[in-house]
Structure formats: C-alpha cells, structure tokens
Amino acid sequence: MNRCRYRVPISEAECGCEHPDILHNGTVPLEICNGCLLRAEPDYLSDNSRLYTLQQSAGVYVPRPRSCGGCGTVKRRVDAMQFVWPYWHAGASGDELRWSIRSVEQHFEGQAKITVVGDRPPWWHGHVIDRPRIGPAPNRGFRDMLNKMWTIATHPEIDPEFVWMMDDIYFVRPVDLEELQQPRAYGWREDASNSWQRRKSNTMRVLREAGATNHDYATHLPHWAEKAKLRDLFDRFDLANNTLLWEVLYGNLHRSRPIRPEPFFARITAPMSVSDLRVRVRQASVMNHTANAWCEGVREYLADLLPQPAAGEVEPAGYVPTFRKTGRPAPRPVKRRHPSTWRVNQPQPVE
C-alpha cells in the first residue's frame, strides 16, 4: 500500500488533506491522505543530496572484509574447500567414512574437495594420499594420528587451508565455512581416568607453560585449520617425539575465545533407534557417535538422510554392514561336578 510521502508531522493546511484530524508522519495511506496526491513528485537528487555530499567527501563506501573470528585473518571467498580424513580401514567399526563423505558433499554450502589420508577403503575410488599405519610403537594410536597430521601439514596435495574430519563426523544440515571457522570448545578440568585424559592433561600443561589458554578443543567436531600453522606446531612442540593432542594445541594457540559446541553439535554415546536419533539431533548441524553407538539405527538414519552416493564412491557387490556387539555378554556356562562326587556326600570311614 502506498503511504503519505511526508516523513515528518505537518499540518493539514500544509498537506492539503481533507482529513484535518490525521497526523501526517508517513504512515497515512494515500487513499486517505488525498492532499499528498496534489503535491508534486519528490525530486530524487534533492532528496539524496546529503548522501551525494558525503560520497564526495569520503569516497565511495566499500564494506571492510570480516575476520573469521578465530585466527584474526580476513575472510575471502574460496571456490573450494578441502576436507581431509585421516583413516585406518582395519580400525573402522563399519563404513562410517562413506556417510561422513556423503554428508559433506550434500550439506557443505560450497564446493568440497574430498581427500583420505591413510589407506583406501574398497568402496572408494576418489583422492587418497597413501599413508599406512605405523608399526608397533608406544602410544601407537596417537602416534599414527600425528604421523598422518604431519603428512597433511607437508604434502603438496593438501591446500593451504583445509577442514580436518573423522570418519564418524556427519553434517546433518547445511553447514557453511563461517560456521566451521567458528571456535567451539568445552571447559577443561584435570582428569587422569584414562590414557586419553592423561594425554590431554599433558597437552594442557605444555600450553600453560607457553602462556596459552586451556580450552578443550578435543570436541569430535570438524576443525578448520591452516597448513602452515599446523606445520609450526610440529616444529615448536617437537611432535615427532612428544605425543600431544594437535587439535588442543592448535585451538588454544591460533583461535580466539570459543563458544560451546551445543546446540550446533550432537554427540551420540549409545545405540539409538531412527526415531530417537531424529529427536536427538533436531537442533544440531553436526553429529558424531562413539564406537559403541554405531548400530543399525544410526546407519539407517544416515542412509535415509544421505541417499546420494559420493562422487568417488563405488559400492562393491555383496557388501554387508557390520556393527560391534553392545550390551553385557551372556554368562559363560559353569561346569560343576556331579553331587555324587562331592566330598560331603562321600561315605565317612568308621572309626
């Protein structure tokens, strides 16, 4: 609906309106304020003379690029972003990597370049940087991850900026680069209950000695990172010999103050049905599950959410998904001697 063109209160005499009780402040419909219809059309140049004067004195306004909020660098539009999965096929619970890759291709708001660093699963014909698992060594799992991260930090086929993924991380809704660049972490408290927590405590101690913060970036979320800064971590903390958590080091040294992962992130820690899973992740954009939570319900949910195969995916004939057995195992049968052989049932000698 067209409105009275006057933006300041004027009298009915100035407007020429036939309705003297109406306050003319730009909210009166032209159908009622017929006095404005008698006025000449406003001149565009004169009405915007202040803007032209400001432009001549200050120049043409150019919006300043926004920073990512984490590393202080300026955001620039990228044509493609590389997503990298360190992967050991024999250690996978099932084909989680398939659904993780599908989720990125379907839900990342941009062009996604897919790279697997490790060994090639039989159903994947896309880009792979071959890096077999290291041989037997102390802290083998941690050392193998750091060995693959060194490959990511130094390999020419890895872009200067990338997103680090795990095979059990899935995008369940559209996600853009700005959301992935947003620092997200938990608060941290000292914990020595297992080797993972002890490794984290050691990493936090090293950060305190370096004068850095102690935010817990080991969140099971994707991590946007810069290749040069990752390489610097290996040199600065001698990660070839010190088994520290690279994502905790990187986040506390190269990111700004983080926010909590939830509700952007949902972590599944127990097997769930499809209906329960949909309720659990209804507000989330990224989902992750533990090894024990990988079950038929999770795979069915992902298959329904992500039906389109990834560009490098080839389904081998006869594939059967496997799941870890969960719950308390059945009790082992106990072999007992026949009561006739019990000492208490033996005849006692007569004295």
Question: pLDDT per residue over 293-304, tens digit each?
Answer: 999 999 999 999
Residue 170 bridge partners (DSSP): 287
The distance of Cα 150 from the centroid of its chain, to the nearest Å, equals: 22
42 or 205, which is more confident: 205
105 or 318, which is more confident: 105
Residues in CB range of 15: below 8 A, 6 or more apart: 4, 6, 24, 33, 35, 36, 39
Q: At what angle do helices 246-254 and 140-154 cross, to 10 degrees?
A: 50
pLDDT for residue 40 is more than 50: no
Q: What is the pLDDT of residue 38?
A: 43
pLDDT band at 152 (very low <50, low <70, confident <90, very high): very high
Per-domain residue ranges of the chain: 1-42, 80-256
Mean pLDDT of 77-81: 70
Mean pLDDT of 244-263: 96
| Per-residue pLDDT tens over the stretch 81-116 | 999 999 999 888 889 999 999 999 999 999 999 999
Helices (H), 61-95: none
Q: What is the pLDDT of residue 54?
A: 64
Helix (H, G, I), strand (E, B) or coil at 225: strand
pLDDT for residue 156 is more than 50: yes
d(CA 169, CA 107): 13
Q: What is the pLDDT of residue 186?
A: 95
d(CA 279, CA 291): 20
CA torsion 57-63-64-69 (nearest 10°) is 150
Residues in CB range of 79: below 8 A, 6 or more apart: 111
